[in-house]
Structure 1
């Protein structure tokens, strides 16, 4: 493709934007297909018609990035704050807030939520899908409770895998590199008259960060294996069935962080690694009633099993019934007494109400009579979570300019943990949703939707969205969006019953070999939903002759009733007392300059103000990415990416990734050899002070055979 001078190009650009309007359901313009996205409203739409901002990370970007993790790919999304809790725990949030567990973002795998409602988290490393099975990732940047329920408060990430029909043949891949990187992937795809199948096996391994703030080895490596089976079966010309099975098994190291409360205790210091298993299955029946009417019914089942045990030591008085009752009366008083108990042995319990001083003196008496001896025992912090989900969705074209998608959803969640819930806790959720798209004229597109949701543990809610799109033509549109969204407190936040039962105590505590530690934390049980009001103005354009896609938005989001307290077993007092405001602008540009070069730029400016200062720490005011992909011919291609943010949790992040690959034809087979170099440009920890690398660069290589 060739271009003239800048002056001659400007009229062409204007002509492309303001050309005669065409119907949005014209899928091809000048022989080229219009891009289509699904995540925004559950309706297939061109980006210009979406009631909000979308980012699509396609298969070319996924490969070119060289990323080994889904969380790393999300650095390509403007406004997405990507950091690390440790080497095997990513922290990903759109626009930030203090929650490191993605509490305010819905994450889907082929439409199935992988958000764990029990412990308010997304295990990014443990999502049971390899990078090589992913076709694209669609990210809706903004609240979308209307389409996906209560956790879609700030964004929706939908990971879409390749269709089995597009996966025929055999693929084998290995990755080796520094930091003990050792990955593998193998898949087999085949088809028959009425169906297709893909089976893949994969594994991932690395050693995480090298050292903590003190220079000691940081235990955060990971080892995992996955198996995935996807089948599509055509029943007749109107019906089909899609089903998947996923399983993942692995281990994640955890640094030992427990420190005895009472002075003079030598801790056992045993490791507290996590053995993580995930199982999932889904079955979906699709029916095309006629060209204007379709529906599906989908059922899913998921199970997360996290086994975590270790051995710890503390003083015998830690299991005193009197100390336990004192904690229930006044945690602050109890902690002051416990941490300074040696100081009070001669002076008596610190000042306070009579009941507290009486219990405090009894504890001091136990300490003086020998309860200061060291006891060691086993702690089991394992969790099991299960989810069953059933959804019906109906899509109907009522006329040439009117489309409706509606549906019902039922979900059952169960969390089982002796430590976090003192047993088992379950919840049920019912949802009814609808989205109406009305093409009032050839230029004006009006969209409205709502979600009614009822949760047994929290109650009911109704969230609306209203959007107006002015389509200059199907490739260019202006939008104004107002939406409301909610986030329901999760089981952990609202209903936690957190205490440690220590078993195999040696020696015994008060004559027992098993006892509960004195600290016990209970959730308030009456938390209300967080509420968000979002306003957005934006433009989306696709200059087909230039190969240029552009999106710009300005936004103002307000969250009230925020639950900002950290999830910890030490005076955790959750409330809806906080609020936050996010104002700013985002842009993304994707330019296929010609057949060989592609440029991609993103930038986000986010001005965050929050009543709790912690809610501003995970927000970078300025962040963005830049990428250049080039096909050099003769099987050679390269990619260069820059990622940066000015301050995430107070630490700057800048990195340049380079990937060079060579594809070699071997008859009907092909071999691709590639190398990736990641170079940090800053000299700071990654998100948290203990995330330290000895070297600022890492290199790894891959070899992939297709036949």
Structure 2
């Protein structure tokens, strides 16, 4: 243990000067306002350099971790200095909620729309006019984008990531394109994994439950000659819904390595492999084609892998060089439909079905089939002095995709270049200016510039006010530009569309953050107006489908997140969002004519209460509410009714000196109020899971 502390101290020495400056600031603040928050900030700033026994903080001493984030502007900030509203969901909250999927975690942030397309396909979005492929939200793992160029979305089950791998999630509520680029058009989410330096030496878990779910996960952390490492692997299966048999199987392994070749250098390497299968399909009667009560689902095999390298080098007391490079690769193999499938669900005529397959040997029912890769490299310099802190860099991204059914022209590719800067300027003792700028250009043909300006005013030591403005653009994806089509007799032809323009959003916001020192919590409020124009939508005219810049809507509203810990044994989380979504009527031809109505839920709410009845007994309850909504891809313009859901989790633990065993039971939708989630035929009913965790240090 002493050797580990020494190595951690050496590794953290690269940030010594920065911590000293932060500590001086906290000490100065502490002398003016003797708050627990200021004292803890000072102690935590020094904690990596102290022996293990010098500082012992238990989770019960404060609600979660100190509010420090990096995903908003690449700079280390807290809610009082950040240019945007950000929710931090930590391990404690994830564990108490009983989240079973990555998207479940996002329901613990205000304004997020979380839904299931079927038993094993999830989606998540923020303030969007939604469909089954959300395409305006950047999802990252340790800063690595996992957005898919081939489908213009994220496939959550292919990321090589497990709930138990996550340390915390930073959720930026509002456009973050000025920092993270085009895909962060409406917001951004960064899943940050557990550090090999702080995780348990060994951890094993197993889950059994509804839908014949079975999963097992094993992780190990340690160090070897000054290098910290962590391995994690998981295997999971379930049978899916009893009506549709949309089963799922997945196996993955990932690893992270951290080492310091010199006192000024820190290098980390992440890599992983994920493979398995799931079922895809539309759980509604598409144009009255399906036989009564039946739906066509296709099995989709997948395999993915990634590599992610980060290097930080301290140049002097004020400057740090950052280099990052990563590569993602995904292969999707949708099963071919049989002649019987095509006849039963599509053509109604066997002769036509035979002819269709003869002329289109690569035909797939849902066309989610192909290969895609992404390679990204970034070089940046971070500069910090007494009055300013900036992060400036350049980057290049190469995307490639091929699909015999989506992109018949063969492999398509794109080279994107970017220049960016984020700056935090301490203009006055109580005033901070945040500015961000990102310029992207693609293949020397199309470009997009996104900017953000924020003014933070420290009204009181515990209260800050933020005014924000952003103007952002989103470049069309590979699929949107190349996935247009014409259906000829017995053939489908894909073609390119060079006339697409970037999507645009202009947003204004007022943010208020107040620290509740006595209750060890906080209140975060965001009032916003978002104007979206030139949104890319699919227009169908006869047998021709084409992406066009025809979408337009405005979002107005407010949202709040409240965290409270009234005692050492009880803590509470509350989220609420009011969204007035005003859609100007637009015509997508036969793909849909959408009237001037609300196409996003007006009210969403989630709350989480946790009670540590005894040191070895924990009870938590999570409540979700979503207003009725008319999803853009719900077809026949049928509303999804509002729903309420209550999840309850009870955990009992047994502890020894170096290990812990925990047995927990989770009941999702405890009152069994079965509700529709996205598609009309997909119902979420009561589900029960039992989990066993074993940890050893």
Task: Give the TM-score normalised by the residue count of structure 2.
Answer: 0.82
Aligned to 2:23: none
**Residue 624 of structure 1 is aligned with which of 605, 608, 614?**
605
CA contact (8 A) 1:658 1:676 kept: yes
**Residue 207 of structure 2 is aligned with which of 160, 165, 175?**
175
**Residue 468 of structure 2 is aligned with which of 475, 481, 489?**
481
List gaps (5 residues or longer) in structure 2: 1-28, 46-65, 587-593, 632-638
Aligned to 1:645: 626
Aligned counterparts of 1:582 and 1:185: Cα–Cα separation in 2: 41
CA contact (8 A) 1:498 1:569 kept: no
Aligned to 1:352: none
Residue 622 of structure 2 corresponds to residue 590 of structure 1: no
Deviation at 1:404, TM superposition (A): 1.1
Deviation at 1:687, TM superposition (A): 1.7
Deviation at 1:68, TM superposition (A): 1.4
Distance 1:475 1:258, change over 3 A: closer
CA contact (8 A) 2:169 2:190 kept: yes
Deviation at 1:231, TM superposition (A): 0.5
Secondary structure (helix, strand or coil) at the match of 1:661 reads strand
Residue 434 of structure 2 corresponds to residue 444 of structure 1: no
CA contact (8 A) 1:92 1:101 kept: no
Aligned to 1:93: 125
Aligned to 1:109: 141
Deviation at 1:94, TM superposition (A): 0.1
Aligned to 2:681: 690
Residue 519 of structure 2 corresponds to residue 546 of structure 1: yes
Deviation at 1:526, TM superposition (A): 1.1
Distance 1:116 1:75, change over 3 A: same
Distance 1:219 1:121, change over 3 A: farther
Deviation at 1:525, TM superposition (A): 2.6
| 1:12-411 alignment, distance < 5 Å | 20=32, 28-29=40-41, 34-210=66-242, 217-255=243-281, 272-313=298-339, 379=363, 381=367, 382-397=369-384, 399-411=385-397
Distance 1:315 1:619, change over 3 A: closer
Residue 688 of structure 2 corresponds to residue 699 of structure 1: yes
Task: Figure out how many residues of one structure are paired with residues of the other and give that number.
Answer: 618
Deviation at 1:615, TM superposition (A): 9.7
Residue 658 of structure 2 corresponds to residue 662 of structure 1: no
Distance 1:475 1:690, change over 3 A: same
CA contact (8 A) 2:666 2:690 kept: yes
Distance 1:395 1:569, change over 3 A: farther
Distance 1:270 1:439, change over 3 A: closer
Secondary structure (helix, strand or coil) at the match of 1:39 reads coil
Task: Give the TM-score normalised by the residue count of structure 1.
Answer: 0.81
Distance 1:548 1:113, change over 3 A: same
Distance 1:220 1:474, change over 3 A: farther
The answer to which of 612-621 and 46-55 deviates more is 612-621
CA contact (8 A) 1:467 1:482 kept: yes
| RCO higher in structure (CA 8 A, sep ≥6) | 1
CA contact (8 A) 1:270 1:310 kept: no
**Deviation digits for residues 353-399 of structure 1 (CA, Å, limit 9, x no counterpart):** xxxxxxxxxxxxxx9xx9897775653553100111101121101x3
**Deviation digits for residues 382-430 of structure 1 (CA, Å, limit 9, x no counterpart):** 3100111101121101x31111111111100000111111111000100
**Deviation digits for residues 11-47 of structure 1 (CA, Å, limit 9, x no counterpart):** xxxxxx9995899x97855757752111111000111
CA RMSD after TM alignment: 3.4
Larger radius of gyration: 1
CA contact (8 A) 2:394 2:420 kept: yes
Residue 411 of structure 2 corresponds to residue 424 of structure 1: yes
